[in-house]
Amino acid sequence: MDFYISIYTLNNLDNLLDNYKQHILKDFHKINNLSIEYQTFENSILERKINKPLIRNLKPDKNKCNAYIWKINYGKIQCSNQKTIDNFCKKHHSTQNYGIINFYD
């Protein structure tokens, strides 16, 4: 089963979850009468490490699979497998979740 979720929907979901986390932390801080300042407490719990994708300026390889894949810390890149079926590898010949590379000659 294939499905797609928009960035807008994912961002809304992320914001909703963050709001719930903040409410839970406020209640926890109040109920337990913590000596630490609330904002410091929240920042220590909700601190996120933001990993920006490394920018790679690679030209697509015509001999490799024409499917895009998502690689952590790199973002959307070309699949590194060799073409076997049409212009795709065995894994991506039926589904291309992140798009297709079109070569215009």
Domain ranges of the chain: 7-46, 51-105
* Neighbour count for residue 78 (Cβ, 10 Å): 19
CA 16 to chain centre: 17
What's the predicted TM-score (pTM) here? 0.46
Q: What is the pLDDT of residue 83?
A: 92
Q: What is the pLDDT of residue 28?
A: 93
Point out the residues of the chain with pLDDT beneath 50. none
Q: What is the pLDDT of residue 89?
A: 92
